[in-house]
């Protein structure tokens, strides 16, 4: 049977595409920059990187930007499936501007019940930066999450070896020190906090003064100095990456990250990306060498853990209006 031409396929109505794109835009993005643009021509839905939303100091090559767009692309496919639509995705179609990341054709599937639970999952997933409980996610559950990356050709490795975790902690600390003295990066990061517009990270989602390291003490504070931890006892880490360090592999890493994050949310786990160590190129290379043994190129780290039961829910990060991101 020959492949039908685009003109022969019954295209999704604009209202369906609008619904799918608004669900896709619930995806996580670096600093909540929402660096995507969508265009629907009545048959093909195109996803492009919005380079005006790039972070030149922290993300000069656009790795985090592309991962964010990959997450939105996966959210779109996930939402379509939940609502009874099929998607055919062509990644990196030819484009003179080199901003086009994917073309998607949305077609109706046979009779299919709407998966409300999956739509709820898109709405409940969030970045919860409060400290995880001390109870670590068991290794087999981490490995189940890692397996979800394979269909995208993405490598996901859980750091279960104490030595690897220790090395990563040292490197992550070094990255933080590096970033603390880089004014351009600090200023850029600050510009994305507590904005008046529906983007960026609201202050009420950032932890207040870092929680004290030591348990509550009967004594008043003394002068003994201690370094702040980047990883606490119960935190587990998954490294995501690929064989290359280019736009195509970042896009797929974003899709895999979204798949992992949604399933972790379904299982009651909490996921928080940790991109600073990757943003410092020398440290990214050192992670590839000394933690991953050069098995693959690291693109992003994910902290995975459990939030204490009964904690209050968090307000959602804002999203830009659909009219700003979708052109029909
Ligand atoms: C590529 C990427 C890198 C991120 N890096 C960090 C990070 O280093 N630290 C952090 O706390 N959150 C990080 N985030 C989470 C975003 O800040 C978060 O997704 C965004 O503010 C939207 O909030 P939401 O996930 O609750 O919808 C990252 C997200 C992405 C997609």
Three-class secondary structure of residue 116 per DSSP:
helix
Same structural domain for residues 107 and 154? no
Which pLDDT tens digit goes with each residue over 145-169? 999 999 999 999 999 999 999 999 9
Give Rg (Cα) of the chain. Answer: 20
Q: Are residues 122 and 143 in the same domain?
A: no
Q: How far apart are CA 274 and CA 295, in angstroms?
A: 20
Note whether 152 and 291 are same-domain residues: yes
274 within ligand 1 shell (Cβ under 6 A) = yes
Is residue 218 situated within a structural domain?
no
CA pair distance 257, 298, nearest whole angstrom: 13
CA–CA separation, 106 vs 9, rounded Å? 9
d(CA 317, CA 32): 8
**What pLDDT score was predicted for residue 1?**
47
CATH number at residue 58: 3.40.109.10
How many CB atoms within 10 Å of residue 88?
Answer: 14
Cβ(175) to ligand 1 under 6 A?
no
Among residues 276, 211, 229, the alpha carbon closest in space to that of 63 is found at 276
Q: Which backbone phi and psi does 130 adopt, to 5 degrees?
A: -70, 155
CA of 7 to the centre of ligand 1 (A): 39
Q: Is 62 in the pocket of ligand 1 (CB under 6 A)?
A: no
Same domain, yes or no: 77 and 164: no
Is any ligand 1 atom within 6 A of the Cβ of residue 273?
Answer: yes
* pLDDT given for residue 222 in this prediction: 72
Domain match, 174 and 249 both = yes
User: What is the whole-number distance in angstroms between the Cα of residue 68 and the centre of ligand 1?
Assistant: 9
Q: Which residues of the chain have pLDDT under 50?
A: 1, 212-213
* 14, 42 Cβ separation under 8 angstroms: yes
CA-angle at 166, arms to 259 and 55, nearest 5°: 50
**Whether residue 29 has its Cβ less than 6 Å from ligand 1:** yes
Q: Quick one: 143 and 281 in the same domain?
A: yes
Judged by DSSP in three states, 108 sits in strand
In DSSP terms, 241 is beta-bridged to 155, 298
Same domain, 298 and 156: yes
Can you give the residue range of the structural domain that contains 33? 9-126
Residue 258 CA to ligand 1 center (angstroms) comes to 12
Number of domains in the chain: 2
- 134 domain residue, yes or no: no
Q: What is the DSSP letter of 203?
A: G
Going by DSSP bridges, is the β-strand pair 270-274/236-242 parallel, antiparallel, or unpaired? unpaired
Q: Are residues 25 and 88 in the same domain?
A: yes
Same domain, 159 and 288: yes
- Residue labelled with tokens 């050709």: 153
Alpha carbon nearest to ligand 1 atom 9, residue: 274
Determine the Cα–Cα distance for residues 13 and 36; give it in Å rounded to an integer: 21
Does residue 150 sit in the same domain as residue 284?
Answer: yes
| Residue 84 vs residues 40, 87, 94, 233: alpha-carbon distances, Å | 19, 10, 29, 42
Q: Are the C-beta atoms of residues 149 and 256 closer than 8 Å to each other?
A: yes
pLDDT at 213: 47
Residue 25 and residue 159 in one domain = no
Cβ atoms of 72 and 35 closer than 8 Å: no
Any idea of the CA torsion for 284, 288, 291, 292, to the nearest 10 degrees? 150
Judgement on whether residues 163 and 234 belong to the same structural domain of the protein: yes
For the chain, the distance separating the N- and C-terminal CA atoms, rounded to the nearest angstrom, is 32
* Gap between the Cα atoms of 77 and 287, Å rounded: 31
**How high is the pLDDT of residue 109?**
83
The CB density around residue 320, as the number of other CB atoms within 10 Å, is: 17
SS3 content of the chain, % helix, strand, coil (to 5): 40, 15, 45
Domain for residue 108, yes or no? yes
Our answer on whether the CB atom of 77 is closer than 6 Å to any ligand 1 atom is no
178-200: burial string, b at 16+ Cβ within 10 Å, e else: bbeeeeebeebbeebeeeeeebb
């Amino acid at each position: 049977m020959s492949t039908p031409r685009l003109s022969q396929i019954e295209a999704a109505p604009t209202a369906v595409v609008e619904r799918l794109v608004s669900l896709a835009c619930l995806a996580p993005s670096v600093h909540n920059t929402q660096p995507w643009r969508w265009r629907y021509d009545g048959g093909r839905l195109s996803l492009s990187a919005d380079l005006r939303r790039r972070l030149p100091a922290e993300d000069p090559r656009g790795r985090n930007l592309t991962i964010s767009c990959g997450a939105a692309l996966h959210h779109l496919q996930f939402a379509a499936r939940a609502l009874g639509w099929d998607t055919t995705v062509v990644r990196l179609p030819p484009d003179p501007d080199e901003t086009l990341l994917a073309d998607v054709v949305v077609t109706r599937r046979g009779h299919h019940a709407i998966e409300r639970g999956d739509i709820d999952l898109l709405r409940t997933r969030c970045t919860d930066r409060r400290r995880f409980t001390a109870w670590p996610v068991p290794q087999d559950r981490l490995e189940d999450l890692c397996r979800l990356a394979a269909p995208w050709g993405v490598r996901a490795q859980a750091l279960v070896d104490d030595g690897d975790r220790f090395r990563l902690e040292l490197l992550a600390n070094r990255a933080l020190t590096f970033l603390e003295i880089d004014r351009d990066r600090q200023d850029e990061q600050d510009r994305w906090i507590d904005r008046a517009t529906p983007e960026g990270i609201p202050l009420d989602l950032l932890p207040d003064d870092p929680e004290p390291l030591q348990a509550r003490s009967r004594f008043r504070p003394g002068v003994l100095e201690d370094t702040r931890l980047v990883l606490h006892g119960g935190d587990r880490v998954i490294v995501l990456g690929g064989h290359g360090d280019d736009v195509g592999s970042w896009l797929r890493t974003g899709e895999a990250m979204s798949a992992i994050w949604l399933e972790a949310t379904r299982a009651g786990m909490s996921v928080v990306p940790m991109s600073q160590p990757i943003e410092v190129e020398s440290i990214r290379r050192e992670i590839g060498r000394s933690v991953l043994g050069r098995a693959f190129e690291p693109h992003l780290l994910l902290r995975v853990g459990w939030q204490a039961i009964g904690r209050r829910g968090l307000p959602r990060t804002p999203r830009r209006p659909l009219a700003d991101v979708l052109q029909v």
